Structure 1
Amino acid sequence: MLSMSDNDSVQTRNWNVLVFMAGVVILFTILLVRLFSLQYLNYDENFQRSENNRLRRVVLVAERGFIYDRNGEVLVRNRPSYQIALQAMHLPRKDSARAIIFNRLLQIVDKNGERMFDSLSLDTAFQRAHWIKNRPIRILEDASPEQVAIIEEHSSELPGVTTLIESRREYPYGTLASHVLGYTSEISEEQLKLPEFADYSQGDRIGQKGLEQHYDSEFRGKNGLKLVEVNAMGREVGLVRGVESEPPVPGLHLVSTIDLKLQKVAEEAIADSVKGALVAIDPRNGEILAMVSSPRLDPNIFSLKKRERNKGWAQVALDSMRPLTNRAISGTYPPASVFKLVTAGAGLESGILSETKYYPKSCTGGYQFGSRYQKCWGVHGNLNVVHALRLSCDVFFYQAGLDIDMARINEFGRRFGYGEQPLGIDIPGEKSGWLPDSVSFNERNKRLGWRWARGLILNLSIGQGQLVTPLQQATFIGSLATNKGVYRPHLMKELRDYKGNVVKEFEPEIVRPGKMKPETHRILLAAMDSVVNHPGGTGKRGALPGIRVGAKTGSGEWKKGEKTHAWYAAVAPLYDPQIAVAVILEAAGGGGAKAAPIARKVMMAYFGLEEEAKK
């Protein structure tokens, strides 16, 4: 017979067994419920998660189209570039595990013993990996083959870290035509917010400036897609069978109007230490043959790795010479004496001037207007319009401007490309000029308290007070010589697909009337001829052997006590124009002495007279 204590002990043991059994039943019930939930209730969701871990949709970025010169020489191409990146979906979920990978990456050094990764940028990338799941996050751009090899050696220790290969832009001629070509860079947060970039994603590289920006959609092509199987480390092990990949469609190639040979000559002629610009254009159709803005920049810096890119960008952005500015299309300057062709043209068109008209006040070095004495740069005596243009006499044009009035002068200028409306060149950043009249002058100078006065016409009639761009100067002088209209200046000649088929050709388009009476045309051409080919002409340093050149020089005043801007605008052959060139050198002095020889070198190269051009 059990004692009371033994009975209590048995009951306690039975109770413990019962509790244990109940616990086991409850545990297995929970496991069965969970298993049922996973296998049946949430099967689709869990299967998809499993597939997402096993499968990866890889976007195949389309090859960006090349840029060629008019003769088929490559100006812009692509090069392969290795990127080390994080694949967020294959990183460990726990922060502690991610921290281990973070520290392992920081400890990796190259052959020189230097760290491959910067702690600050690496930390930023890991932070972004918390909300960016479906695309790689770059942690090292433009990695060298050695750096790629080091990462591959540590691949088993770095789940979620992968190597990608993409193409980066390469500009084989460095700074050559940099303002025309532009560059590419990663799309900014601000750009992503704009509606025109709705189909872009963070990390995409897009065109910035120049042709790269204007024709970005044509260069991009169409991305493809493939479905690949990946291992637990996030590395590809092969394509998924039975699923067809969608190949990318390469972007269109652009054949530009630029002549590489001519561009090289133009850039060699203008030192990079000088602020200035040159535009060479075919006045028969508006094709830009060469365009230089100085100082220049190397667009290759925007394809470098982040640290080097930021350093290069800082140097460019902080440079007081403003190399980022395309002076050829956005630099605005007083047109100086080149504008005397406009004043003369307006006077001839209206009948106020003629080839035989002489003003009663001859040039003795200046002109008295009321209480003000306006100087001329020389003493030229009694002149007609042709002689006045040849010698660039201010006194003649002071009197002519007062006779003709600004309304007629401005109308003639707008007819041939000057004025407040841009010409519409196919790269961004073009500025319009300014042809002042009483209304616009008063509005523009309201805060300064300046008011229009008739005496202003004296300055305006000789091109001191208006604003023009080098592109407008080249367009003006070319259309003035042809007398057949102002063609839209452009840099795209044609677009071709990756097979070489022409997809689109630029159709020449007249954007301004650009016509005058035959007699006006004859007299102005005679004057332009005289400027270059008469022994006393101000532009004689721009003459070519065996080819008739017509031109006009200018010296633009811009700051008291400083040297003038040197202008030279020319066309050749004068009576059958094929090329027009405008050159400006900031604060360089006389246009005939400084700018004319540069235009001459370009024209020499154009007409195949290189040996003479070297003299």
Structure 2
Amino acid sequence: MNKPLRRAAVFCLALILALMGWATWIQGAKASDYKEDPHNPRVAIGKYSAPLGNILVGGEPVTGSAATSSTLKYKRTYKDGPLYAPVTGFSSQIYGSNQLESLYGDLLDGSDSRLQSPADALTRNRAKGGDVATTIDPKVQQAGYRALGGKKGAAVAMDPATGRILGMVSTPSYDPGKFSGSSAADQKAWQQMSADPDDPQVNRALRQPLPPGSTFKLVVAAAALENGLYSSVDEPTDSPDPYTLPHTRTKLPNENASAPCKNANIRTALQYSCNTVFAKMAVDLGKDKVKAQAEKLGFNDGKVDTPVRAAKSVYPGDMDEAQTALSGIGQFDDQATPLQMAMVTAAIQNGGDLKTPQLVDKLTDGGGNTVQENGPKTYRKAMSGRTAEQLRSAMQTVVDKGTASGAKIDGRTVGAKTGTAQHGVDNSGTPYAWFVSYAEDGKGHQVAVAVMVEDGHAARNEVSGNGLAAPIARAMMKAALP
């Protein structure tokens, strides 16, 4: 072989080796990247080539699949879409997916390796989609959705003993079935939802932290009892009325000027929601002790997964004493989601043992066989049993004699705390109405609830936790208890 021909042969061999190396790289190391790339049309074609598995509520599917005439052979359908959208999320041929539809997408479309039989692995066929069984109680979900009605807000109901989420409502909601396909009508529905100023696609129960107002006083009370600032909820506090914020001339008043807040004990201070008592209590404890107690209950944790991740609820650390006082009444930079405040109430109801909130009970394959089952998990020991017992007693007083009378249920033990959170420039915005509560029937059945109503159309003087939010909590508690 002459020299020029040999060089050409070596060059061609190098090109072949490079091509083989590149093909091996693509098929091996990069295969999963291409497979999961949302811009790869084969991903959507594979996902929607057969009916998807379902998301179950109370053992019944609230999702389905319908045949289409397009390349994507099936599209997702939803039963009672607006009711369960905060639970399921959406699965769209064009816009992707979120929440449970996204987190368990591989299980639902059959590509999860746990679903494959040996024959599927050999033939590379996709298995039949599996199902996701949620912890939602349809009666509780429906009760919360009806009670919220046309209001903007959210509500969460939990079983304190297990952490199971029994209801998770967010309004206004949306129908995920209206944009699950790829038609012009689907695209128009998506555009209308995206342009809605009320943001119906936001899951307010998990993803919208807001000032918790006076419901946060439960956290401060827990910190005071846990740190020995006061020995019981019936010991008088050292609290002037009004209270001058430290190092300022600003006097913090109480909403009810005639309330017996001066030197009130914790029980009375919760009953009348005395700002002066809890603002000074936070200062006396110091921001670090209040923060430590808040974090035991889930604040400042950016990884609270239900498994849908909740937005981080915040108790700030960088504050002066005046700011610490305001944080003690759930203002300044305090932020909490309804899930977070349900966790606070659940810990109090469950003797201080806070369970991890869970939205999914189990995963099954296409034949109904269990792939994964979720049992109760302890998030943290949030407070002693005695502190929890004291706070339960005080919360019952708030219902029986105080500002939370709207939560009473005949034949049930109910404890609660109201909250009205100021916001906006110089507190000019319509306040948020909060309500946290628990109920038990003495037979082992119990529930903890948190409700937030963000009703910008209500008259400012009509906004109260007891007026706007308590009926929603009461409806969910009644539905949860046999």
Into which bin does the TM-score normalised by the smaller protein fall? 0.7 to 0.9
Shift of 1:501: 1.7
Residue 397 to residue 245, structure 1, CA distance change in 2 (3 Å): closer
Instruction: Give 1 or 2 for the bigger CA radius of gyration.
Output: 1
More relative contact order, 1 or 2 (CA 8 Å, 6+ apart) = 2
Among 517, 520, 541, the residue aligned to 2:406:
541
Gap change, CA 1:259 and 1:519, over 3 Å in 2: closer
Partner of residue 67 from structure 2, selected from 65, 75, 80: 80
Please give the alpha-carbon distance, in whole angstroms, between the structure 1 residues aligned to 2:448 and 2:316: 26
For 1:50-69, list aligned pairs within 5 A. Answer: 61-69=49-57
How far has the Cα of 1:433 moved from its partner? Answer: 1.4
Alignment-derived partner of residue 271 in structure 2: 390
- TM-score w.r.t. the length of structure 2 is 0.80
Q: Is the 8 A contact 1:209 1:427 kept in 2?
A: no
**Alpha-carbon distance in 2 for matches of 1:472, 1:506:** 20
- Distance, in Å, in 1 between the alignment partners of 2:180 and 2:415 is 43
* AA matched with 2:99: G
Counterpart AA for 1:185 = S
**In the alignment, what sits opposite 2:249?**
371
* 1:198 corresponding residue in structure 2: none
Partner of residue 15, structure 2: none
User: 1: distance between equivalents of 2:302 and 2:380?
Assistant: 10
Partner AA of 1:476 in structure 2: V
In the alignment, what sits opposite 2:156? 279
- Please show how residues 179-258 of structure 1 align to structure 2 within 5 Å: 179-186=86-93, 208-222=97-111, 248-258=126-136
Match for 1:523: what amino acid?
A: Q
Equivalent residue number for residue 423 of structure 1: 304
Q: 1:523 aligns with which of 369, 384, 390?
A: 390
Amino acid at match of 1:515: M
Aligned residues: 413
SS of the aligned residue for 1:175 comes to: helix
Residue 76 of structure 2 is matched in structure 1 by 169
Distance 2:441 2:275 in 1: 25
Which whole-Å CA distance do the structure 2 matches of 1:222 and 1:214 have between them? 13
Distance 1:292 1:400 in 2: 34
1:358 aligns with 2:236: yes
Specify the alignment match of 1:490 in structure 2: 358
Aligned pair in 2 of structure 1 residues 561, 484: CA closer, same or farther (>3 Å)?
closer
Deviates more, 1:477-486 or 1:323-332: 477-486
User: What residue is the counterpart of 1:600 in the other structure?
Assistant: 474
After TM superposition, give the deviation of residue 398 of structure 1 in Å: 2.2
CA distance in 1, matches of 2:389, 2:145: 34
SS of equivalent residue, structure 2 residue 82 = coil
Q: 1:42-61 deviations in whole A, cap 9, x for unaligned?
A: xxxxxxxxxxxxxxxx9793
Post-superposition offset of 1:366 = 5.2
**1:581 paired residue number:** 449
Give the Cα–Cα distance (whole angstroms) in 1 for the partners of residues 243 and 360 of structure 2.
48
Out of 157, 167, 171, which is 1:290 matched to?
167
Which of 302, 305, 314 is the equivalent residue of 1:434?
Answer: 314
Query: Residue 221 of structure 2 aligns with which residue?
Result: 344
Q: Residue 322 of structure 2 corresponds to which residue in structure 1? A: 455
Partner of 1:158: none
CA–CA distance in structure 1, aligned partners of residues 420 and 376 of structure 2: 33
Percent identity for Structure 1 against Structure 2: 30
User: Do the aligned residues in 2 keep the contact of 1:283 with 1:577 (CA within 8 Å)?
Assistant: no
Residue 571 of structure 1 corresponds to 438
Tell me how far apart the structure 2 counterparts of residues 459 and 484 of structure 1 sit (CA, whole Å). 25
After superposition, give the CA deviation of every residue in 1:312-362 in whole Å (9 maximum; x if it has no partner).
111100111011111111111111111111111111111111334324544
Q: In structure 1, the residue corresponding to 2:69 is in which secondary structure?
A: strand
- Displacement of 1:491 in angstroms is 1.5
Q: For residues 76-115 of structure 1, what are the structure 2 equivalents within 5 Å?
A: 76-83=63-70
Alignment of 1:121-200 (within 5 A): 138=71, 166-186=73-93
Change (3 A) 1:362 1:309: same
Contact 2:94-2:182 at 8 Å conserved across structures? no
Which blocks of at least 5 consecutive residues in structure 1 are unaligned?
1-57, 84-137, 139-164, 189-205, 224-243, 439-451, 609-615
Distance (whole Å) between structure 1 residues aligned to residue 129 and residue 107 of structure 2? 6
Give the C-alpha shift of residue 474 in structure 1: 0.6
Change (3 A) 1:304 1:245: same
Shift of 1:304: 3.7
Q: How far did 1:484 drift?
A: 4.8
1:558 maps to amino acid:
H
Mapped contact 2:156–2:339 kept (Cα < 8 A): yes
SS in structure 2 opposite 1:549? strand
- Corresponding residue for 1:235? none
Q: Are the structure 2 counterparts of residues 344 and 407 from structure 1 closer, same or farther at C-alpha, using a change threshold of 3 Å?
A: same
C-alpha displacement of 1:222: 4.2
Give 5+ residue unaligned stretches, structure 2.
1-44, 113-121
3-state SS in 2 of match to 1:358:
coil
Amino acid at match of 1:214: L
Q: Would you say the 8 A contact 2:275–2:329 is kept in 1?
A: yes
Q: Return the offset for 1:245.
A: 8.4
RMSD: 2.3
TM-score, normalisation: structure 1:
0.64
TM superposition shift of 1:481: 1.6
Aligned to 2:279, the other structure's residue is in SS state: helix
Show CA shifts across 1:532-572 (max 9, x none). Answer: 122xx111101111010111110011122332100001111
Counterpart mapping for 1:34-53 below 5 A: none
The offset of 1:395, in angstroms, is 1.3
Contact (CA 8 Å) 1:62, 1:222: kept in 2 or not? no
**SS of equivalent residue, structure 1 residue 455:** helix
Quick one: distance in 2 between partners of 1:307 and 1:421?
38
In structure 2, C-alpha distance between the alignment counterparts of 1:396 and 1:577, rounded to whole Å: 34
- Tell me which amino acid in the other structure corresponds to 1:392: S
